[in-house]
Structure 1
């Protein structure tokens, strides 16, 4: 439908009201519930983000029939969302799909949250093996994904159109944008699927060293001018991976 008239004279005063109103930014240990956000406040705390980005999706979308593509995309998104949301509690602040990418944002008041989010990345990496086996058995195209993780102090504000009930939290800081860019590195150009920022890796390994210091995870260091130092790996969940190798037979009677 054609936009017949945008009342820019009236809307100017609305914008001025937004820009001139008193706002409060609260520095907190952990992000509060969504209902605590208003159009005149914001909260600043540690946030961690994970992005799971489908590789070469353009080729998939144009080279296969619509039904096959729909099946692949649904198989890709449904269980990744399940892994990201399951037992996350109120630390999970946002989860969604952007194009061919599944993402989630979490409160991360301690390094333990980074460790547990890394575990979710390992489950997703293993799930991709399971999904590709299931796709192959059905003559559907196999797929790859990059998994990016970052954490930083982040400002969250509520933005949108109050009178129409259209609003979202906007995340202002490095964690979300950098996790997205790191996911774009994963699983191509000899970089492993899971890619962590230096800050995320530091917090994760601090906890990993205390909880399971007998296990040495194979991480490779890399760097880029844009993203700085990062670490990448192809870690999988051992029991899950063995079950896939064993033919994925049900263990339940």
Structure 2
């Protein structure tokens, strides 16, 4: 959020606190579709059933020690640029966020076909990183490693910020975001594969996609090193 300086008024601050805390607890709607930003106010919210996809870089601290800042900026820019482009190319994408070297998105998934499409975006992201690594290698830059997490569930979406300032953000609260971030954090570490998807997300995939994933014992998730056949052809020809 871009700041725009305005002197802090303690009295107005207390009034805003009361306005928010005294607002109705009933002003929250159930929905299977992410609302328009225009439908969100500072006193309402939506309980949404939808899907989330997180993509996070591994070893970013080590990466920062291996390159000059200008080279590091190129690596981060190309990584973030193309991950955002890929997520934005999913017709069901609703929100995209960039938090450091993590890029994540929220998708409308009212049908199982839409959940399969989010899974496709996940394995295309895996192939995208492989594609980028070929180009990084040719520049003698460090190649990237990412973890990818997927989940379907419920989240509370609200508008949060400083009322009247224009400084606000759509904020997601609840199990959906926390669990997806957790799956992403576990992915591609130790023996874990690149993509981790929750049991509930897996249960909504078609049989072909299910066959690409394996259950991880004693957990609530599946995993897979799934790639895009189309994108992998270029990787094989140019690797």
TM-score by length of 1: 0.85
1:68 and 1:10, CA in 2 relative to 1: closer, same or farther beyond 3 A? closer
Per the alignment, residue 3 of structure 2 pairs with: none
Per the alignment, residue 99 of structure 2 pairs with: 98
Per the alignment, residue 47 of structure 1 pairs with: 50
Q: Secondary structure at the match of 1:163?
A: coil
Q: Does 1:66 align with 2:57?
A: no
Q: Does 1:174 align with 2:175?
A: yes
- In 1, Cα distance between the equivalents of 2:72 and 2:87? 23
Q: Does 1:147 align with 2:148?
A: yes
- In 2, Cα distance between the equivalents of 1:190 and 1:13? 53
Deviation, 1:41, is 1.5
Q: Secondary structure at the match of 1:67?
A: helix
Per the alignment, residue 164 of structure 2 pairs with: 163
Q: Secondary structure at the match of 1:70?
A: helix
Runs of 4+ more than 6 Å apart: none
Q: 2:80 aligns with which of 77, 81, 86?
A: 77
- In 2, Cα distance between the equivalents of 1:111 and 1:21? 36
1:34 and 1:9, CA in 2 relative to 1: closer, same or farther beyond 3 A? closer
Q: How many residues align?
A: 233
Q: Secondary structure at the match of 1:164?
A: coil
Deviation, 1:237, is 0.8
- In 1, Cα distance between the equivalents of 2:136 and 2:97? 23
Residue segments in structure 2 that go unaligned for 5+ positions in a row: 1-6
Deviation, 1:240, is 1.3
Alignment of 1:1-253 (within 5 A): 7-22=9-24, 24-88=27-91, 91-204=92-205, 208-209=206-207, 213=208, 217-222=211-216, 228-247=219-238
What is the CA deviation profile of residues 152-196 of structure 1, one whole-angstrom value per residue up to 9, with x for unaligned ones? 022111111121011112112211111111111111101111110
1:181 and 1:87, CA in 2 relative to 1: closer, same or farther beyond 3 A? closer
Q: Is the 8 A contact 1:38 1:158 kept in 2?
A: yes
1:66 and 1:38, CA in 2 relative to 1: closer, same or farther beyond 3 A? same
